[in-house]
Structure 1
Amino acid sequence: MKKTTLLAALLMLLAAFGTFSCQKDSSTEQPTPDSSPDRKALLTQWADSLVKPGYQRFNGKLATLKAKSAAFTAAPAPATLLEARQAWQAAYVEWQKVELYEFGPAEEVSLRNHFNIYPADVAGINRNITTGSYNFDLATAIPQQGFPTLDYLLNGVAADDAAIVQQYAASANHRRYLTDVVAKMDQTFATVYGQWTGSYRDTFINNAGTDASSSLSRVINAYSLYFERFLRAGKVGIPAGTMSGTPRPDKIEAFYQKGALPLQLATTAHATVQQFFNGRTGRPSLKSYLDALDAKDSRTGQRLTSIINTQLDASYQQLSSLGPDLHTTITARNADAVASYNEMQKAVRLVKVDMTSALSVTVTYVDNDGD
């Protein structure tokens, strides 16, 4: 009996010691730090250092375009035409640096549809000018406005500069249409810019989740869509005939201006895509976010950001080789344009599949260009 009592007491003592030891170990454990990247910091960087300053710069170029086009319609002459054309070109290049921001207010008003859907519907534009009746908010009017329409109005409405000036001097309807196209651009962009300088900035950075309606998801989807559909396909693939099998140089951006501008627009857009990805050293960016997630290629173990940048570099170099005149290149050596499309397609796979997977972002758009 005594042995049994002693054994029971010993077991109770050991149990108590074990409980005490566990409690002591638990109390001395250090909490695991949250190593996930700061999404709100990333959104703040995008809003304050990219979107708002980019829109501010573009707003200045658009204001100059409005003033110079007004001066031309008030007094059509070779000098005022040249100034309006230069302002259009400068604004068009600047547009390439903000077009990918088709989320939030820009998405709500379909900013890209009002600014840069090409080729321009020349038959529709001429009909609008003749009748004097048009509504830029209709879906059918999308290719009858924006930068591509200004390309036609300032560069292609007649055979040469003297004839263009004479056309505007003789036709009040031409002067009115040019004025109305620029006014619609100014009005639509003012809505977007006003929201970003107002309350939307805070709405954007505070929507810091990862679901489909979050700011991160909307930005990543807009970014991927822009690179895939509007840069890869729109600026190179469709004109090169990669979808149709037949080169269509008439479908390039800035078709009526031609020369160096179409390729400048494309390379500016491509550089903007890569700059958005990398951001500024020491500041939050897509690259730093992915690196913080330790995103790697499953086959090679390399950092995903390194692989993406390597491919974007190769893609940019191939695109740059299509100069100096993109229209001539597609006509005379279209294989080079197809090669440029193919290099961009390699980057599309990295961005649309590997990057979105690493970010746990669902691709919510469908690209149906047939590739």
Structure 2
Amino acid sequence: MKKYIALVLTLVFLGCSSGSDKPDPQPTDEGKDRSVMLKALAENVIIPSYDQFKTKFDLMSAKSKAFTAKPDSQTLTEFRSAWTDAYVAWQRVELFDFGPAEKQIIRNFFNIYPASEAGIAANITDPTSSLEVPASYPTQGFPALDYLINGLGANDTSILAHYTTDKDAAKKLAYITRVIARMDSLLGKVISDWKGEYLNTFISKTGLDIGSSTSLMVNGSVLHYERYIRSGKFGIPSGAMASGIPAPEKVEAFYKKDISKTLAQTAHKAYVDFFNGRHAVTGQAGPGLKNYLDALGAKDSGTGKLLTESINAQFQTAAAKLDVLKPNLYEEVKTNNQAMKDTYTEMQKAVRMLKVDMTSAMSITITYTDNDGD
């Protein structure tokens, strides 16, 4: 009997030991899996957005070649139209200023405004001037093209004269070609990196440290909303920033002012879509910052609601202020500036949510600095 009892106790002990060697299965929560979020944003949002922009850019390049080969009213009109379409499409990718875009400093070479008229004139005179130094930022990209096809004269006849009868006509045409060739080269490098080894690197660096993909992406995108949408498109031109002095000449697309609101609307919507993980082609919401924050259970400390609900509500409020503005933001600053300031104010509220509440919930450290008190 003693041997029997000992045998039973041994079997029971072994059974318990065998079970304890295997940890209880842990529930999986795909929303918290940062590799899923990073993969979806890269493959469904970032890369297809660049592809869409490249299509518009290539058309602009083709129209520029037609114009430089035969500068006349028709080729100028077609070049302008393609430039507008490409500039609008650029607003959907400018926010991806991390990874390959940050490496190439593509934003600074594509969209620093206002353009430097004196710098452009100097570069036209000296074809060997460098387009790679910081001083050259406002002499190239979309703002420079804006000046070259919309701002050289008071009307089309005057502008076309710069490219036909002016003594430096050939040099000016050559500069257009040079600017677009540089843009094409930089864009090609960024897209190639995203479709090459960087894609795997981006998806695999799932930590939350300063060098992780999530940290770089969040820092880059929050900086974009704060400095290049809120401040660049509204705060600086309206004077809502520290100086308090309106500067209508600093609106985006200064020489083609009637598209300035469209550019701002496109940039803001692109940011909202990115936050919500919307597919660049289908518009379907997928894994992204919103899903990740929801999976973390991030709450708005003031209301107790999901933080993403508060952020999206603030996005809608800011968009509503933007939508009622007239198409020409230059004129809005001069005649309806309080509406510009109101738009800035609502965007500022979104900045606080993104820069403080969102990053805190995600345990992300803000690595950039801004001197406006956020």
Q: TM-score, normalised by structure 2?
A: 0.90
Aligned-residue CA RMSD (Å)? 2.2
More off after superposition, 273-282 vs 169-178:
273-282
Q: 1:33 aligns with which of 14, 27, 41?
A: 27
- Structure with the greater alpha carbon radius of gyration: 1
* Alignment-derived partner of residue 130 in structure 1: 125
Residue 282 to residue 343, structure 1, CA distance change in 2 (3 Å): closer
Give per-residue Cα distances to partners, 1:206-244, cap 9 Å, x unaligned: 111111101111100011000000000001110001122
1:318 equivalent to 2:321? Answer yes
Q: What one-letter code is carried by the residue in structure 1 that aligns with 2:121?
A: N
* Alignment-derived partner of residue 67 in structure 2: 72
Cα distance in 1 for partners of 2:327, 2:81 equals 19
Residue 207 to residue 310, structure 1, CA distance change in 2 (3 Å): same
Q: What one-letter code is carried by the residue in structure 1 that aligns with 2:364?
A: V
Deviation at 1:48, TM superposition (A): 0.6
* Alignment-derived partner of residue 292 in structure 2: 289
Deviation at 1:197, TM superposition (A): 1.5
Q: What one-letter code is carried by the residue in structure 2 that aligns with 1:116?
A: N
Cα distance in 2 for partners of 1:29, 1:71 equals 68
Residue 137 to residue 29, structure 1, CA distance change in 2 (3 Å): closer
Q: What one-letter code is carried by the residue in structure 2 that aligns with 1:274?
A: V
Q: What one-letter code is carried by the residue in structure 2 that aligns with 1:290?
A: L
Deviation at 1:368, TM superposition (A): 2.2
* Alignment-derived partner of residue 50 in structure 1: 45
More off after superposition, 156-165 vs 222-231:
156-165
Give per-residue Cα distances to partners, 1:278-302, cap 9 Å, x unaligned: 1245621111111111100123211
Cα distance in 2 for partners of 1:154, 1:368 equals 35
User: Pairwise mapping of residues 344-363 of structure 1 onto structure 2 (< 5 A)?
Assistant: 344-363=347-366
* Alignment-derived partner of residue 99 in structure 1: 94
Q: Give the length in aligned residue pairs.
A: 355
* Alignment-derived partner of residue 160 in structure 2: 165
1:230 equivalent to 2:233? Answer no
Give per-residue Cα distances to partners, 1:93-115, cap 9 Å, x unaligned: 00000000011111001010110
Q: What one-letter code is carried by the residue in structure 1 that aligns with 2:27?
A: P
Identity rate of aligned residues, in percent?
A: 48
Paired residue secondary structure (1:256): helix
User: Pairwise mapping of residues 1-371 of structure 1 onto structure 2 (< 5 A)?
Assistant: 27=20, 30-35=24-29, 37-170=32-165, 171-243=169-241, 244-259=243-258, 261-280=259-278, 283-369=286-372
User: Contact 2:260–2:327 (CA<8 Å) still a contact in 1?
Assistant: no
Q: TM-score, normalised by structure 1?
A: 0.91
- Structure 1 unaligned residues grouped into runs of 5+: 1-15
Deviation at 1:370, TM superposition (A): 5.8
- Structure 2 unaligned residues grouped into runs of 5+: 1-8, 279-283
* Alignment-derived partner of residue 11 in structure 1: none
